[in-house]
Structure 1
Amino acid sequence: MHSAEEISDATGAVSTGSDDTLSSSATTNRKTSTTGANGAEGPIGVKKENKRSKYRHVAAYHAKVRHSSLTREPNVTASFLGFRNLMVIVLVAMNLRLIIENFMKYGVLICIKCHDYRKQDVVLGSILFALVPYHLFISYLIELTASKQAKQVVGQRKRNGSAEAAERDQRTFRLTWWLSAFFHCINTLLSLGVTSFVVYFYIHHPGIGTLCELQALIVSFKICSYAFTNRDLREAMLNPSMESALPEIYSSCPYPRNITLGNLIYFWLAPTLVYQPVYPRSSHIRWSFVAKRLFEFFCLTVFIWLLSAQYAAPVLRNSIDKIAVMDVASILERVMKLSTISLVIWLAGFFAVFQSLLNALAEVLRFGDREFYTDWWNSSSLGGYWRSWNRPVYLFMKRHVFSPLVGRGWSPLAASTVVFLVSAVLHEMLVGIPTHNLIGVAFAGMMFQLPLIAITAPLEKIQDPSGRVIGNSIFWVSFCLVGQPLGALLYFFAWQAKYGSVSKMGV
């Protein structure tokens, strides 16, 4: 559209002569004009009008090289903000339609008293929650005994520094490590074994069982990290060298001063699975920050429960008959329908745990390193996703499984395979034991990540943005369609086939 000034120029200033005539006319007007009746000076207006009209039809509107907005060109960044807003509006409209459809078809399915949890489940779950952390105290006693032995060795070395004494000290260190490792293994197996046995055979409700199994896995991770780290700290104290130089942050609490009950309790409560004698700490506690994070956690927990009861449960129940007769088309339809619900539930759970709960806990403990995740949603490969979405587990596996294997001469591929093998076993325990169905779906899903990682790894290295877009799309497809919805359907089908509904309310 043209401005009023442009329209005035086009309609009120018509040139009837050549350029020379226009110039001559303008000169004559400047010489012979007089002041108008209203006091305005005529020549100024005439001069300005002639200047506006000059060369109007020959303006160079195409003066430089430009590209279309949707054309991908180097060094040109296109904005798709409007399309993003459109997608958000479409998603909101589609999900509102699903909400209305769900309400019209099923009514309100929320029922606090309808869940089939037994008194025995609550009692046994509470006992396990109270007793499992004591396995960390047992690991503390093991390390306390080993540290006393190490101090005796250092004292003897000061009194007798001969080569025979040094060789004897090495034998003592190796014997101490093997004995402590043996007792740590027994302690870890008891923690996991007893919890898994009680959950599988005596705790019926899968939610309570999952919480108990998850706590046992966390405690087991912490026991392993506590044992391995103190073993290396003990060796560094007995055999100081450049190769065994410790991080500078550890200097404020050298071994064996870190073997205290207070140090262990802090590690037990800290939002990490990797033991260190010292952690970076914040200066003070922001209680308003803690309150906000806990409020988020509470709201998201209620939100997840509402979505599960009102939307996920009907889709899962309606899928049972289709799975039983292996109606592939209907199963795919149910998987796609469940994908949106499971994705929203997973995202809400991720934010509730990794952003709200862990940050609240870190703030109370003044735990400084709060990189519990990175931007996994931008992952251009499956490997990038597994390195970024759950940093506590990733750092544990890297420090205590992957790096030691590579240091012993294993190839990175073989070490990664072992990491995913361990992770697959733990995933199957975490899902299969509380649902009382060890059917291997979680195990197979984790092992299936290895070929997907191999396929998408080259895309991560491509400099062209299209490579990252393709890799990110493969990640989201496998994440939304192949992974969670299909696994949820299969475990729910196995549960229904074995026990029937978790809820007493029929649909």
Structure 2
Amino acid sequence: MATDVSTIIATDTAQVKAPVTVPSQTEQKPKSKVRSKYRHVAALHATTRPSCLSHESPETPSFLGFRNLMVLTIIVMNLRLVIENAKKYGLLITLTSNIHAVDVRWGALLYVLTPIHLFAAYLIERVAMEHAKGAVGRRKKSDAGMKKSPETENELKDFLNTWWYIAVAHTVNATLALGITSAVVWFCIRNPGIGMVSELHAIIVWLKTCSYAFTNRDLRHAMLHPGGPESAIPLIYGNCPYPKNITLSNLCYFWWAPTLVYQPYYPRTEKIRWGFFFKRLGETAALCTFIWLTCAQYAEPLLRNSLEGMAVFDLPSIAERLMKLSTISLIVWLAGFFAVFQSFLNALAEIMRFGDREFYGPWWNSTSLKMYWSTWNKPVYHFMRRHVYSPLVGRGWSSGAASIWVFVFSGFLHELAVGIPSHSLLGVAFLGMMAQLPLIFATEPLSRMGDVGGKVIGNCIFWINFVFVGQPLAAMIYFFSWQAKYGLLSENRPNP
């Protein structure tokens, strides 16, 4: 066919979307587009534009590349430290250790006996509950308009005296929970690791015992004074109202729940995810092993090498060792934080079907010290706010005075947790907590500034205090004190 043939297939217009052209064999191919010659007069600077890192830039560029660079730099620097440590010391990790059997036995005994104080608090609350139920029963039987008889006045006096006895019993029980363990650790356990685990366990039980007593006291007061100004209780407590919560099963759940604040009822998950549980348990075991290896291979020799400079108070040597220790201390602390608050507490919450798992917040973005202390350890923060800060403010204390008392109380617990196991009540941990107060007052205005600069400065102050000043310096001081008593600097070391 010599001429072009074009046919439009239209047998079914509903099926045909566009005409189809069938070209002939003689149809010419379209000519390629011819590019014009590049002209050297193109206007590349046609508008005003700021540099991408300037504040005037409409869009903030991504810093993903710099983040990758910093991660790689940290990896390379730590690999260099690993190689340097291996060349200098060799392999220091061994399966044997200097843990004495006596320390292990005392630690195991304390672990078993310390929770008894929780059950003692339960028995005290049972007595208080029976007295409260009796008072409610007598009130229902009495005539509201009848004048009280002398016998009723005597019963009221005995009733008030009973509350004092219950308060004293709770105080003595909670004090013994912390005092007995502290005495045993101080006099009978030489190993700082076992001593610290035992002391921390006692502090946790002590805080739980206090919360159990305080909460049930308010619930009992609300039951005895219905309609009063302090009778309102959270709606969630309606699932287990007082005194139905005073049961052994309720106490045992609180004993193992990953919280320091007692509630008659907690939000629960529907089921246990066993896969999630074993993953978190594996993470805990792996991170604990990593911490042990890091401390044995890197932290301990570095601390031992710092003893000579500490003994003669050589400030340049101490500063150099402090900066070296800061890297190891940071790695160990971050691993410990993840092991406890992300892995272990989530595993415990899963097995207990505990619903509220906000154990921490994004503390690494803290723009002030106040933000850090309120986000990195939510269980302790919740206890301090509920049982220390809020009651003080409710009694007329100012917010600043209540905050100071919270840090005094926290500093006391920190000193017990570190000073008792190391047999060195130096007050360093306590003073370290007190030193946070001026830093909080200094960084709080920075976090409230509208521009980014103030928040960046506040975050940098937080990291400097966290990495270089706080933990490494305290570790060096307590290690030196322990070695002076029982270790390399001691003339009278304990016999194995």
TM-score greater than 0.5 by the shorter chain: yes
In the other structure, the counterpart of 1:19 is none
**1:131 is aligned to 2:131:** no
Listed one character per residue, the Cα deviations across residues 397-422 of structure 1 (whole Å, up to 9, x for unaligned) are 00000000000000011101110001
In the other structure, the counterpart of 2:426 is 439
In the other structure, the counterpart of 1:108 is 91
**1:140 is aligned to 2:146:** no
Q: Which secondary structure state, in structure 1, belongs to the residue aligned with residue 306 of structure 2?
A: helix
Please report how far the alpha carbon of residue 180 of structure 1 lies from its aligned counterpart in structure 2 after TM superposition.
Answer: 1.2
Q: Compared with structure 1, are the counterparts of its residues 54 and 173 closer, same or farther at alpha carbon in structure 2 (3 Å cutoff)?
A: farther
In the other structure, the counterpart of 2:204 is 218
Query: Contact between 2:326 and 2:467, CA under 8 Å: does it hold in 1?
Result: yes
Query: Contact between 2:107 and 2:194, CA under 8 Å: does it hold in 1?
Result: yes
Q: Which secondary structure state, in structure 2, belongs to the residue aligned with residue 285 of structure 1?
A: coil
Give, as a single letter, the amino acid of the residue that structure 1 aligns with 2:104: V
Give the Cα separation in 1 of the matches to 2:206 and 2:392.
20
**1:454 is aligned to 2:441:** yes
Q: Compared with structure 1, are the counterparts of its residues 173 and 409 closer, same or farther at alpha carbon in structure 2 (3 Å cutoff)?
A: farther
Please report how far the alpha carbon of residue 448 of structure 1 lies from its aligned counterpart in structure 2 after TM superposition.
Answer: 0.5
Query: Contact between 2:369 and 2:436, CA under 8 Å: does it hold in 1?
Result: yes
Listed one character per residue, the Cα deviations across residues 319-346 of structure 1 (whole Å, up to 9, x for unaligned) are 0000111111110110000000000000
**1:227 is aligned to 2:227:** no
In the other structure, the counterpart of 2:4 is none
Counterpart among 248, 252, 257 of residue 270 in structure 1: 257
**1:367 is aligned to 2:354:** yes
Query: Contact between 1:222 and 1:275, CA under 8 Å: does it hold in 2?
Result: yes
Give the Cα separation in 1 of the matches to 2:29 and 2:257.
83
Matches within 5 A, 1:183-332: 183-241=169-227, 243=229, 244-332=231-319
Q: Compared with structure 1, are the counterparts of its residues 406 and 68 closer, same or farther at alpha carbon in structure 2 (3 Å cutoff)?
A: same
Give the Cα separation in 2 of the matches to 1:272 and 1:161.
44
Q: Which secondary structure state, in structure 2, belongs to the residue aligned with residue 182 of structure 1?
A: helix
Please report how far the alpha carbon of residue 167 of structure 1 lies from its aligned counterpart in structure 2 after TM superposition.
Answer: 7.8
Give the Cα separation in 2 of the matches to 1:407 and 1:434.
36
Give the Cα separation in 1 of the matches to 2:439 and 2:409.
18
Q: Compared with structure 1, are the counterparts of its residues 419 and 455 closer, same or farther at alpha carbon in structure 2 (3 Å cutoff)?
A: same
**1:417 is aligned to 2:404:** yes
In the other structure, the counterpart of 1:377 is 364
TM-score between both structures, scaled by the size of structure 2? 0.89
Query: Contact between 2:52 and 2:59, CA under 8 Å: does it hold in 1?
Result: no
Give, as a single letter, the amino acid of the residue that structure 1 aligns with 2:91: V
Give the Cα separation in 2 of the matches to 1:270 and 1:422.
23
In the other structure, the counterpart of 1:178 is 164
Query: Contact between 2:222 and 2:228, CA under 8 Å: does it hold in 1?
Result: no
Matches within 5 A, 1:65-144: 65-73=48-56, 75-113=58-96, 115-144=97-126
Give, as a single letter, the amino acid of the residue that structure 2 aligns with 1:156: R
Give the Cα separation in 1 of the matches to 2:253 and 2:472.
37
Give, as a single letter, the amino acid of the residue that structure 1 aligns with 2:202: A
Give, as a single letter, the amino acid of the residue that structure 1 aligns with 2:394: G
**1:482 is aligned to 2:469:** yes
Q: Which secondary structure state, in structure 2, belongs to the residue aligned with residue 76 of structure 1?
A: coil
- How many residues are paired up? 461
Q: Compared with structure 1, are the counterparts of its residues 126 and 101 closer, same or farther at alpha carbon in structure 2 (3 Å cutoff)?
A: same
Report which stretch shifted further, 152-161 or 340-349: 152-161
In the other structure, the counterpart of 1:53 is 36
Give, as a single letter, the amino acid of the residue that structure 1 aligns with 2:95: I
Give the Cα separation in 2 of the matches to 1:403 and 1:145.
28
Give the Cα separation in 2 of the matches to 1:92 and 1:348.
15
Please report how far the alpha carbon of residue 76 of structure 1 lies from its aligned counterpart in structure 2 after TM superposition.
Answer: 2.4
Q: Compared with structure 1, are the counterparts of its residues 275 and 169 closer, same or farther at alpha carbon in structure 2 (3 Å cutoff)?
A: farther
Q: Sequence identity of aligned pairs in percent?
A: 60
What stretches of structure 2 of length at least 5 have no aligned partner?
A: 1-25
Please report how far the alpha carbon of residue 175 of structure 1 lies from its aligned counterpart in structure 2 after TM superposition.
Answer: 3.0
In the other structure, the counterpart of 1:427 is 414
Give, as a single letter, the amino acid of the residue that structure 1 aligns with 2:121: S
Please report how far the alpha carbon of residue 172 of structure 1 lies from its aligned counterpart in structure 2 after TM superposition.
Answer: 5.7
Give the Cα separation in 1 of the matches to 2:85 and 2:54.
41
Give, as a single letter, the amino acid of the residue that structure 2 aligns with 1:410: W
Give the Cα separation in 2 of the matches to 1:75 and 1:399.
44
Give the Cα separation in 1 of the matches to 2:318 and 2:131.
62
Listed one character per residue, the Cα deviations across residues 349-375 of structure 1 (whole Å, up to 9, x for unaligned) are 000011111000000000000000000
Q: Which secondary structure state, in structure 2, belongs to the residue aligned with residue 409 of structure 1?
A: coil
Give the Cα separation in 2 of the matches to 1:99 and 1:373.
31
Give the Cα separation in 1 of the matches to 2:159 and 2:239.
24
Give, as a single letter, the amino acid of the residue that structure 2 aligns with 1:77: T
In the other structure, the counterpart of 2:21 is none
Q: Compared with structure 1, are the counterparts of its residues 74 and 464 closer, same or farther at alpha carbon in structure 2 (3 Å cutoff)?
A: farther
Query: Contact between 1:153 and 1:169, CA under 8 Å: does it hold in 2?
Result: no
Give the Cα separation in 1 of the matches to 2:154 and 2:71.
70
Q: Which secondary structure state, in structure 1, belongs to the residue aligned with residue 374 of structure 2?
A: helix
